[in-house]
């Protein structure tokens, strides 16, 4: 199995890149590249090789955490590599970890393309695996699971983009009430 590739970024396509490793161009599907990546730069991708009847697909990630979450997601029924990659392109790793560890499917289902049932399935199926693997201290203790969801809903209702609302909620101080969290989030978004 191909677990990691390091090479020169020779082409950037929609949802994929071509990585030149010692003269061989590997087509790697990816959710995002490292921030400083540009054509000709050296890139390291942690990879997963999906083997099907007549196709070998290579999926690449900037971090081991992304690869690990991807591998957890593809163990779920009806979630294949393409669906898992789509989920990872819509949600940050910390958001997925926090939603699963806090047993908060509503938080995860707010992403476009992830329905309520899929979010519930992800949370239910991955909870035990995540609890064993990831430190529960990384879970959103900032505002609590339902409070975080309420704060995000309030910010979206006020017209802020969902991604901005999620990012602000993750940065809020611990043990803050929903009302105070909304006030603080509005201050942060107003800067």
What's residue 129's pLDDT?
77
**Cβ distance 191 to 157 under 8 Å?**
no
Whether 18 and 37 share a structural domain:
yes
Give residue 136's pLDDT: 39
CA distance 38 to 9: 7
Q: What is the CATH number of the domain that holds 162?
A: 1.10.8
The residue among 40, 64, 88 that closes a domain is: 64
Q: In Å, how far are 47, 63, 89, 96, 161 from 130, measured between CA atoms?
A: 20, 17, 19, 10, 28
Q: Is residue 58 part of a domain?
A: yes
Same domain, 59 and 8: yes
Q: Does any domain span residue 111? A: yes
Is 101 found in the same domain as 126? Answer: yes
Among residues 64, 95, 111, which one ends one of the domains?
64
pLDDT digits (tens, 9 = 90+) for 159-181: 887 777 777 887 777 677 778 88
- HSE (side-chain half, CA atoms, 13 Å) at 3: 2
**C-beta atoms surrounding 59 within 10 Å:** 25
User: Does any domain span residue 128?
Assistant: yes
Helices (H), 102-177: 105-109, 116-133, 145-157, 162-171
Same domain as 57, residue 13: yes
Residues in the chain, pLDDT under 70? 34-36, 111-113, 131-147, 174, 191
Domain that holds residue 158: 145-190
Tally of structural domains, the chain: 3
In this structure, what CATH number is given to the domain that contains residue 100?
1.10.150.20
Euclidean distance between CA atoms 58 and 82, whole angstroms: 11
Report percent pLDDT > 90 for the chain. Answer: 25
Q: Which of these three, 117, 135, 153, is where a domain ends?
A: 135
Residue 29 is predicted with a pLDDT of 94
Question: Do 14 and 37 lie in a common domain?
Answer: yes
Q: What is the pLDDT of residue 18?
A: 94
């Amino acid at each position: 199995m191909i677990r990691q590739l390091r090479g020169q970024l020779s082409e950037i396509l929609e949802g994929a890149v071509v990585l030149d490793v010692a003269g061989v161009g590997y087509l790697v599907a990816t959710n995002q590249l490292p921030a400083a990546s540009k054509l000709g730069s050296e890139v390291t991708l942690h990879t997963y090789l999906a083997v099907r009847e007549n196709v070998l697909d290579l999926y690449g990630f900037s971090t081991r955490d992304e690869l690990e979450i991807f591998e957890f997601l593809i163990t779920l029924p009806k979630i294949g590599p393409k669906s898992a990659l789509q989920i990872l392109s819509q949600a940050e790793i910390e958001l997925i970890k926090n939603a699963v560890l806090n047993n908060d499917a509503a938080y995860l289902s707010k992403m476009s393309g992830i329905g309520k049932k899929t979010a519930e399935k992800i949370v239910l199926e991955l909870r035990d695996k995540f609890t064993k693997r990831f430190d529960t201290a990384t879970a959103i203790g900032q505002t609590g699971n339902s409070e975080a969801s309420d704060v995000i809903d309030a910010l979206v209702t006020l017209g802020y983009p969902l991604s901005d609302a999620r990012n602000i909620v993750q940065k809020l101080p611990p043990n803050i009430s929903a009302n105070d969290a909304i006030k603080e989030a509005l201050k942060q978004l107003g800067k």
